[in-house]
Amino acid sequence: MDGVGDPTLVDKEHTTGLRSESQAVKSYWGFSRRSVGYLMIAPAVIFLLLAIGYPIFDIIRTSLFKYEGLRDQTSTFVGLGNFVELMDDKLFWISAKNTISFTFASIVGHLILGGVFALALSQKWFSQRIRNIVRGLLILPWLFSLAAAALIWALLLNTMGPLNYIFQELAWIDGPLDFLGERDSAMWALVLINVWKAYPFYMIMILGGLQSIPLDVYDAAKVDGANRSQSFWYVTLPLIRDVLVAATAIDFITTFGVFDIVRILTGGGPARTTITLGYYTWSVGFRDVDFGYGAAISVLMLVTVAIGALVYLRVANRKESVYA
């Protein structure tokens, strides 16, 4: 006959169609499928190299030179001379110590305050509507710019501000206290401001981790006789450990280079008790116009943050391999 209804011809046509479609997928404008994928991500890779890679390269290159003069600036190649000079710079070590103290205290404050509020919001003590309102109020500090937050707290901590008035009324202090001007309180005041400004971000992270825990796990713990405290230490905390590690890593990376609130509120004082590596870098590079020396400090800060990021990735990968 005419071959109509012949299953052999139908299968042959179907096979030919599949082969042509497969060849079309594997070959697009003469490129393989993998090559097309590389071409698609190439613009993003080029952008990252230009936006991140080049500035890092330029900072490293700048750290190898000594710059002199303001208007007619000249540069002299000194190799690792700036880094050697840093090792004998007492102000650099003071800045490093202050930065470590500020970063550690801020991380602890963020995790404690964010964790407490996240635990409170995850409970069923109030209706969902009230919890949503409270959550919105708790997120408010995150909406302020750091400059606005610094100015608000500068007014609150002023010698004539409300905090001094309340403390004197409660007889906690004998007279007005300059929180940002006293050596014993200035750093703690900056930590307080930084914790208040950034805790909502970590509260949201921890709250997301808490809400991802199945209720069946708590029911099983209750059947085994666990009370609230035991459920927290042996159920909740282990299950949100990855979230806490990620929050700590992000906090370290974002806090280690603190500059703005120091510049706005204390200028590194009093008596250099609040000078940080970020502020010292700015001071050396732009106020003293020693770009090479400032770049050397930036390189050391970059290496420190990179080590922290690598430690986090190592811990995260190790946990993935354990659970795989």
Structural domains of the chain, ranges and CATH numbers in brackets: 7-62 (no CATH), 81-323 (1.10.3720.10)
Looking at residue 1, its pLDDT comes to 46
pLDDT number for residue 184: 87
Q: Could you tell me which of 267, 277, 258, 271 has the C-alpha nearest to residue 154?
A: 267
CA distance linking residue 95 with residue 278, whole number of Å: 9
Q: What pLDDT, on a 0 to 100 scale, did the predictor assign at position 321?
A: 54
The mean-pLDDT minimum among 100-109, 126-135, 138-147, 257-266 falls in 126-135
pLDDT digits (tens, 9 = 90+) for 176-217: 888 888 888 899 999 999 999 999 999 999 999 998 888 888
Distance CA 19, CA 15 (A): 6
Instruction: Dump pLDDT digits (tens) for 42-62.
Output: 888 888 888 888 888 899 999
| pLDDT band, residue 31 (cuts 50/70/90) | low
Residue with tokens 């103290």: 101
Long-range pairs for 39-48: beta carbons < 8 A, 24 or more residues apart: none
pTM beyond 0.85, yes or no: no
Q: What are phi and psi of 216, to 5 degrees?
A: -60, -30
Q: What is the mean pLDDT of residues 9-20?
A: 48
Mean of all residue pLDDT scores within the chain: 83
The DSSP letter of residue 65 is E
